[in-house]
Amino acid sequence: MKEHAQKAAEFIRNESRTDWHDEALWFVRSKRDKASHSIGEWEQLRELASQVKDNVLSNLDGYLEQFEANARRNGVQVHWAADAEEHNRIVYGILEKHQARNLVKSKSMLTEECHLNEYLIKRGIEVVDTDLGERIIQLKEEPPSHIVMPAIHLKKEEVGELFHEKLHTEKGASDPKYLTEAARQHLRQKFLAAGAAITGVNFAIAETGGVVVCTNEGNADMGVHLAPVQIHCMGIEKILPKAEHLGIFTRLLARSATGQPITIYTSHYHRPKAGGEMHIVIVDNGRTAQLGRAAFRNSLKCIRCGACMNTCPIYRRSGGHSYGYTIPGPIGSILTPGIDLKKYSGLPFASTLCGSCSDVCPVKIDIHEQLYRWRQIIAEEGHLPTDKRQSMKWAGRVLSKPAWYNVIGKLTRWAMMRLPRPFLYNRLNEWGKDRELPEPPKESFGEWYRKREKS
C-alpha cells in the first residue's frame, strides 16, 4: 500500500534531479498544449474519439470477428491469446516454426506488459528493441518508466556512459546526435540479421483487416520490410470500425503524445509481402474483465499517448518506476487494480484527484473519477491499512454528530495551543515533518457565530 509513497520519497531525495524530471515532462505537456490548442476543433475531436471508442467497446465482439475475417482474407494469420502466457507461447511458436533466432521489435507496450523479452531470451532467442528509448533501457536492463518515452528518466550523460560500456562509444561523449548515430549503426546489423520482426499496433481497422503503427523512428517499417516474418501484437481494444475513423485518432495521438501534428511514420500493414508471412496476435490479458466493470470499462479507450503521465504532478515528481507496473501514471493507476487489487492497492491513492489527467486525455477517460471509485473498492475489499480504516470509521461518526464534533474540535485546538512542540511534532505526525500545523484560533467560527447571535 505504501509502496508508491516510499519510492516517491526516495526519488525526491535527489531534489535537483526531481526538478529536472518534472521540467522535462512539463516541457512535453506544454508542447502538447500548443499543438492541441492550435487547432480549433480539438475539443470536438476528443468528443468524437470518445464516442467512436464507446461504440467500439459496446460492439467489440462483432468488430473483432469482422477484423479477423478481413485480415484472413488478406492472407494474414490471426491468433487469439487469452493471457500473457498464451501470447508469448504463440509468438515463440511462430519463431520456432521459422527457426528464427533473432528478433527485432518496435513500438510495443503490449509485449512489455506480457514480459515477452524474458520469455524468449530464456528460450535462446535474441530480442532487440529497436526504438532508441527502448534500446537504452534494454541495454540498461531496466523496465520502461514511460509508455512513449521509456528512457525519460535517464540523462544524456548516463546514456553516454551506458553506450560507452555496451556499444563502445567514446568515453564521456553525451552528444545526442553522436549517440543516436552509434545506436543506429549498431541496430543496422540487428535489422539485417533478423529472422522476424514484431511491432505493436496503434489501431486495427475492422473494415479492412489492416493494422496501423505510428512511429517516429521508422523502425517498425525497417523491421517488417527486412525480416521474412512479421508479427503484430495487439490488445483487443485497439479496434476502430472504419478506416475513415483513423484521421480523428492520428491527429489526437501525436499532438497528445509529443506535441507533433502527426508522427513521422504512420505505417499501414494489410498483407504479407511476397514470400513472407504476416501474423496478428490478438490479446485479452484481463481486458474483457475490465470491460465487464461498468465504472472502469472506458479505461479501455486509452490510445497510450502518455499525456496523462506528462501532466500528472505526481508522476513528474516520482518517476515511472515508482508505480511498479509497465504502464505507470494515472492510466496505470486505474488499470492495475483490475489486474491485482491487493498488489496495486496503493496506486489509486497516489493522486490528489486534481483531474488534470482527465482533461488532457484525448479520448476523455474520466481517470480521476475512476481513481476515486477504485479507492472505494479497495477499502471495501479490506486492502486499506487497519489504522487508516479505523480512523475513517471514527471520523465518520464524529463528523455526523455535532456535539462530538464540537467537543473534539475544541480539544484539538486546545491541545495544539498548549502542548509542547514534541507532543505535536513527532514521527506520528506525517503532516508536520515538513509543514507547520495551522495556528489554532481561540474560537471556532461556530462559537463566534453563536456569540454574535446572542449580542
Partner 1 sequence: MKVGLFIPCYIDQFYPQVGIATLELLEKLGCQVVYPTGQTCCGQPMANSGCERDAVAAYHHFVQLFHAFDHVVTPSGSCAYHVRNHYDIVEQTEEVKKIRDNVLDLSEFLLDILKVESLDSRFPYKVGLHQSCHGLRGLRLGQGSERALEKSSKLDTLLRMVDGIELVEPSRPDECCGFGGTFAINEPAISVKMGKDRIADHENKGVEVVTAGDMSCLMHLEGIIRRQKKKIKVKHIAEILNGTQP
Q: Smallest distance, Å, CB 150 to partner 1?
A: 22
x/- letters, 9..28, toward partner 1 (CB under 8 A)? x--x--x--x---x---x--
The partner in contact with residue 213, picked from ligand SF4, partner 1, none with C-beta cut-offs of 5 to 8 angstroms by kind, is none
The partner in contact with residue 423, picked from partner 1, ligand SF4, none with C-beta cut-offs of 5 to 8 angstroms by kind, is none
Q: How far apart are CA 173 and CA 183, in angstroms?
A: 13
Distances (CA, A) of 2 to 380, 393, 411, 435: 18, 20, 30, 20
State yes or no: residue 412 binds partner 1 (CB under 8 A): yes
The three-state DSSP-derived secondary structure of the chain is CCHHHHHHHHHHHCHHHHHHHHHHHHHHHHHHHHHHHCCCCHHHHHHHHHHHHHHHHHCHHHHHHHHHHHHHHCCCEEEEECCHHHHHHHHHHHHHHCCCCEEEEECCHHHHHCCHHHHHHHCCCEEEECCHHHHHHHHHCCCCCCCCCCCCCCCHHHHHHHHHHHHCCCCCCCCHHHHHHHHHHHHHHHHHHCCEEEECCCEEECCCCEEEEEECCCHHHHHHHHCCEEEEEEEHHHEECCHHHHHHHHHHHHHHHHCCCCCCEEEEECCCCCCCEEEEEEECCCHHHHHCCCCCHHHHHCCCCCHHHHHCHHHHHHCHHHHCCCCCHHHHHHHHHHHCCCCCCCHHHCCCCCCHHHHHCCCCCCHHHHHHHHHHHHHHCCCCCHHHHHHHHHHHHHCCCHHHHHHHHHHHHHHHHHCCHHHHCCCCCCHHHCCCCCCCCCCCHHHHHHHHHHC
State yes or no: residue 302 binds ligand SF4 (CB under 6 A): yes
The partner in contact with residue 365, picked from ligand SF4, partner 1, none with C-beta cut-offs of 5 to 8 angstroms by kind, is ligand SF4
State yes or no: residue 232 binds ligand SF4 (CB under 6 A): no
Q: Nearer to ligand SF4 by C-beta: 169 or 256?
A: 256
Which residues does 211 contact at the CB level (< 8 Å), separation at least 6?
201, 203, 204, 205, 232, 234, 238, 268, 269, 280
State yes or no: residue 361 binds ligand SF4 (CB under 6 A): yes
Selected binder of partner 1 within 397, 414, 415, 426 (CB under 8 A): 397
Q: Nearer to ligand SF4 by C-beta: 116 or 302?
A: 302
Selected binder of ligand SF4 within 103, 231, 307, 384 (CB under 6 A): 307
- Specify the stretch interacting with ligand SF4 by CB under 6 A; choose among 13-21, 220-228, 355-363, 386-394: 355-363
The partner in contact with residue 72, picked from partner 1, ligand SF4, none with C-beta cut-offs of 5 to 8 angstroms by kind, is none
The partner in contact with residue 434, picked from partner 1, ligand SF4, none with C-beta cut-offs of 5 to 8 angstroms by kind, is partner 1
State yes or no: residue 387 binds partner 1 (CB under 8 A): no
State yes or no: residue 235 binds ligand SF4 (CB under 6 A): no
What residues from 343 to 382 belong to the interface with partner 1 (CB under 8 A)? 348-356, 358-360, 372, 375-380
Selected binder of ligand SF4 within 194, 363, 371, 378 (CB under 6 A): 363
Q: Nearer to ligand SF4 by C-beta: 57 or 224?
A: 57
State yes or no: residue 331 binds ligand SF4 (CB under 6 A): yes
What residues from 283 to 342 belong to the interface with partner 1 (CB under 8 A)? 311, 313-314, 317-318
The partner in contact with residue 48, picked from partner 1, ligand SF4, none with C-beta cut-offs of 5 to 8 angstroms by kind, is none
Q: How many chain residues are in contact with partner 1, going by CB under 8 A?
A: 77
Q: Smallest distance, Å, CB 21 to partner 1?
A: 11
Q: Nearer to ligand SF4 by C-beta: 272 or 286?
A: 286
Q: Smallest distance, Å, CB 332 to partner 1?
A: 16
Q: Smallest distance, Å, CB 89 to ligand SF4?
A: 28
Residues binding ligand SF4 (CB under 6 A): 256, 302-308, 331, 360-363, 365, 367
